[in-house]
Amino acid sequence: MNNIFFFDSYAVIEILKGNPDYQPYTECNILLTKLNLFEVHYNLMRGSSEKEAATFLKKYSKFAVDFDENIIREASRLKLDNRKRNISMADCIGFMVAKRLGIKFLTGDKEFENVPGVEFVK
């Protein structure tokens, strides 16, 4: 297994929930963006507690990478070309960041099943 992945919000949430299918990825190097941090933090505040959300944010912030306007253009094109599919803005950006870095995009979002460059885990 490759040792570095771009974790989308779905993957992070599944790891936090203790999904055994994501257990092998807990030892991998992780990258994500601040958009993913927001999505997961919001999800934890809504469903758990502010304390758990704050702990998550402190632990995972160091893995956040930035993206430039070229990623924004590429992600916008991906979203536009797939407008009939329900792909979030954060996922489009994350997928394009992973593609640029030459790493796999780890997700369980059905929109990415069977997409090249994706490590799909349900």
pLDDT given for residue 1 in this prediction: 65
**3-class SS of residue 118:** strand
Domain boundaries, the chain: 4-120
Q: Rounded to whole angstroms, how far apart are CA atoms 66 and 109? A: 22
Q: What is the pLDDT of residues 6-37, one digit of tens each?
A: 999 999 999 999 999 999 999 999 999 999 99
Token digits for 69? 């306007």
- The alpha carbon of residue 85 and the mean position of all alpha carbons in its chain are separated, in whole angstroms, by 17
As a whole number, mean pLDDT of residues 3-8 equals 97
pLDDT given for residue 66 in this prediction: 97
CATH 3.40.50.1010 for domain 4-120, yes or no, is yes
Tell me the pLDDT band of 2, cut-offs 50, 70 and 90: confident
* pTM of the complete model: 0.94
Task: Provide the 10 A C-beta neighbour count for residue 92.
Answer: 23
